[in-house]
A and B are shown apart, each in its own frame.
Chain A
């Protein structure tokens, strides 16, 4: 039993922005892998520069960036400007003592810095190199920049998603980045197993778009087999009715309900509208699909009278699939997730001025080696000295030279910024659902931190 985690001893150098690579390495670091994040002050990770703890944008606010901190827990930060010739040598030296190099630069930039697999393999023959890009490492679209809202559009998923008769729709997160990251973790594990058995490294190419197409086979199969383009039908299901999201008592409160078997349908209709039990339109699934609009209206008129949690509990007692639509706060306080200790409680470096916080946990629970104590995300450049001196053996003079010529950096030269629109104003204009000024004490007392 390794109490340092299953992946203790695996060292990963990460040159990744935003989500697709950093979320993958987060999942690996949660299991004990050591992640060295390369950071640049000239071109900081966009996640360092948005959404700050309690919206404070004074001082070194990039150390308080909440999405950055959530996603980069346990990692080490090395501030290295790759435009300096000496920095690149540091990076190569670091790769020579690492197991994985993960990067989401376009191939053009990888080549410019000598980070293509063929070169890195000379530095470390059994290195595993990951390239995760929007559309692919080679090919006609490989030079195109991308973020999740673009790759989701290209993948085929967006075209099939959306309200009936409306435009394609996407959620308010860069969804494909996570799908790609999850596949990247699998790919890295497969490559690590192969390396453990055969001693051979390799090159992993992830196209974020193609990963999503791999989890969306229905659309291409329906078209190639039957020449049908899948229609957007909101939350409805082509073959099951009811299947939808219905309003409940309160502001923006919703419940999702479906009934797959006839027994589930009977339980649902007995509870919500026993008086329409004999309505012929709703007797069979086929007929319910035909009268879907009428049925959804009827269900909505009844669910509006219910508290959504109470209705979910009642329906689930009768084995009817039902779930309330949880907002961010409700998800954080969800009784089931917290019964399973889903959220990770993470303490931050005192200089960050961020208190201990609960963050989303791992998508798996393992009986061995997955209960590591989490460390907070690194301050920008926090581990410059320890990595360069202890890992690479630089002496004080060489280290100081790198610092003096600003090849190695631990500060982003950005002035404090004003808050453009206050949280109260955002609540009022409807761009956020709500702002709770008492969130600090609520979090502290619920999680006992």
Chain B
């Protein structure tokens, strides 16, 4: 076994749901030791989030949770209790990075202010992930992924101009913030190695979105333009999925330079008509053009078009793949991308594997996701040497 990049990096994980756990999953999958603190008896609410393996006896065991919590040890701890407080103090002293995703101010209300944490451990990198950051007028705003798409600027330019703005399926904003949080944690840790001083990192999920919406703000600042959603075809191919015989394809062309290649690929005589050879001509006959294009695409299969496009230089079509297609995809197979890294007895669920490859310090799953409190005893009694009497206290929720 090769060594891992983040071997011996100790992470205290006080996060739940998606963004924080994805952050610590990235750290853990590349070698960091993750101790995940969970609310006694209830645990991370992500344990109840779909999808589930419905046909298996483990059907109450969230597959999303299993994905997000590989390589972690679970400790049940009531942060409001004296014992919980003491245990966290000890864990803070033995950690390099603390990641938390409480509502702003909550961790401090448990007695763990930034200054207290840095008194306990001056090297500590503290990463706080929250909806809108630790400061500002929205800091207590409630949000879900939907709200981040709206307030992060991606939604206004997503969808059709004649329909409501749209968002991606699932939880992209939270994954995005989790990735950025992991990078920021490593930057602060990198600095700590040389300076010996920890610091505090503030991650706002809204800002993770707003940082990566390309030209929405810049186009206004530099040209007075406000962009909108996908307009009607109007004489050009849409840069959006279009229906074909057995699915969808994204026809990507750059301007009008390679129109003849597209016409060749579609093998449609009507589209080779002289009037469609220039952008102006296509615009003038936009409706006829659109009808012909749509009809030509529907006659072709998605693989025929995708592989055909790539055998023509410069045409780089996109192949819309659903989960069934992904499982059959030769590139994913080559990369051995999907892996069984869950706990399900059925053995059916396949999970996304390594997101990228590090040649010398590989991604590795040494532990599947923990059951709630699976490592409470190992960490609190064997590692921290807390006494069993005190330990009983951890499972009593809402004390004090």
Contact = CB atoms under 8 A, between A and B. Distances in A.
Contacts of B56: 225
B332 interface: yes
A220 B215 contact: no
A420 B168 CA distance: 33
B100 to A, nearest CB: 15
A218 B322 contact: no
A378 interface: no
B380 interface: no
Nearest to B30: A190
Contacts, number: 546
B360 A200 contact: yes
A151 B306 CA distance: 12
A258 B144 contact: yes
A254 B165 contact: yes
A167 B248 contact: yes
Contacts of A156: 321-323, 325-326
A106 to B, nearest CB: 11
Question: Main secondary structure on chain A at its contact with chain B?
Answer: mixed
A119 B258 CA distance: 36
B86 interface: no
B142 A172 contact: no
A196 interface: yes
Interface stretch (A269-277, A317-325, A409-417): A317-325
Interface stretch (A94-102, A285-293, A353-361): A353-361
B51 A221 contact: yes
Of B169, B207, B324, most buried by chain A (CB within 10 Å of CB) is: B169
Nearest to B254: A46
Interface stretch (B263-271, B345-353, B364-372): B345-353
Given A172-B158, A183-B356, A363-B211, A213 B337 contact: yes
Interface in B202-224: 202-204, 206-208, 210-224
A340 interface: yes
Interface in A146-190: 146-147, 149-163, 167-175, 178-179, 181-187, 189-190
A167 B241 contact: yes
Interface string B132-153: 1101111001111011111111
What is the size category of the interface that chain A forms with chain B?
35 or more
Interface stretch (B36-44, B87-95, B183-191, B388-396): B183-191
Of A182, A237, A357, A440, most buried by chain B (CB within 10 Å of CB) is: A182
Contact of B350 (A186, A224, A234, A423): A224
Contacts of A109: none
A50 B204 CA distance: 31
Interface string A113-140: 0000100000000000000000110111
A203 B359 contact: yes
A196 B191 CA distance: 11
Nearest to A426: B225
B180 interface: yes
Contact of B358 (A19, A191, A323): A191
B386 interface: no
Given A144-B310, A224-B323, A235 B137 contact: no
B210 A193 contact: no
B327 A224 contact: yes
B207 A363 contact: yes
A59 interface: no
A196 B195 contact: no
A342 B202 CA distance: 12
Given A169-B158, A172-B158, A19 B214 contact: yes
A361 B207 contact: yes
Interface stretch (B71-79, B105-113, B171-179): B171-179
B211 to A, nearest CB: 4
A339 B135 CA distance: 8
B123 to A, nearest CB: 13
A51 B160 CA distance: 22
B188 to A, nearest CB: 6
A31 B165 CA distance: 34
Given A150-B316, A323-B143, A366-B187, A435 B225 contact: yes
23 contacts: A136-B335, A139-B334, A145-B316, A147-B252, A150-B318, A156-B323, A158-B250, A172-B158, A193-B190, A207-B331, A210-B352, A214-B352, A225-B53, A254-B156, A328-B215, A328-B216, A336-B151, A337-B210, A359-B217, A359-B221, A364-B203, A429-B234, A433-B228
Given A167-B243, A337-B136, 12 more contacts: A150-B252, A153-B319, A171-B154, A171-B158, A194-B5, A205-B357, A206-B356, A323-B141, A324-B151, A328-B220, A335-B137, A361-B207
